Structure 1
Amino acid sequence: MSLTMPEELLLLMLDDESGRLTDRATPAGDYALIGAMLAELALEERIDTDPPRLRVKSAAPTGDAVLDGVLARIAAEREPRDSRWWVETLAGDVETYRNAYFERLVQRGILKSEEGRFLWFFSERRYPVISDKEEREVKARLMSIIFEDGPPSARDSLLIGLTRAAGLFPLLLAPGELERAQPRIEAVSRHEALNKTISDAVRDIFIEVARYAPVM
Structure 2
Amino acid sequence: MTGLSLPEEIVLLTLDDATGRAIGRQGIAASIALAGAVMMELALAGRVDTDRHRLEVLDDSPTGDPVLDTGLPLLREASDSRGALMLLAREETGLRPLVLSALLARGLLHRVDGRVLLVFPERRYLKPEDRPEPREVRARLLRSIETDDIPEPREALLLGLARATALLPLLLPPELLAARQERIMLLNRIEALNRSVSETVGDLYLYRLRSV
Q: Do the two structures share a fold, i.e. TM-score over 0.5?
A: yes
User: 5+ residue gaps in structure 2?
Assistant: none
- Once the two structures are superposed, the pairs formed by residues 58-207 of structure 1 within 5 Å of their partners are 58-75=59-76, 77=77, 81-131=79-129, 132-207=131-206
CA RMSD of aligned residues (A): 1.9
Deviation at 1:212, TM superposition (A): 3.9
Deviation at 1:25, TM superposition (A): 7.0
Q: Name the SS of the counterpart of 1:127 in structure 2.
A: strand
Distance in structure 2 (CA, Å) of the matches to 1:138 and 1:15: 13
TM-score (norm 2): 0.90
Residue 200 and residue 109 in structure 1: after superposition, are their counterparts in 2 closer, same or farther (change >3 A)? same
User: 5+ residue gaps in structure 1?
Assistant: none
Q: What letter corresponds to residue 200 of structure 2 in structure 1?
A: A
Deviation at 1:51, TM superposition (A): 4.6
Q: Name the SS of the counterpart of 2:180 in structure 1.
A: helix
Q: What letter corresponds to residue 2 of structure 1 in structure 2?
A: G
**Equivalenced residues, count:** 210
Distance in structure 1 (CA, Å) of the matches to 2:87 and 2:152: 28
Is the 8 Å Cα contact of residues 113 and 127 (structure 1) preserved in structure 2?
yes
4+ runs of 1 displaced by more than 6 Å?
none
Q: Name the SS of the counterpart of 1:27 in structure 2.
A: helix
Q: Identity of paired residues, percent?
A: 43
Deviations 1:134-183 (A, max 9, x none): 13322222222212223233222111000111212123322211101111
Q: Name the SS of the counterpart of 1:114 in structure 2.
A: strand
TM-score (norm 1): 0.88
Residue 149 and residue 115 in structure 1: after superposition, are their counterparts in 2 closer, same or farther (change >3 A)? same
Deviation at 1:207, TM superposition (A): 1.4
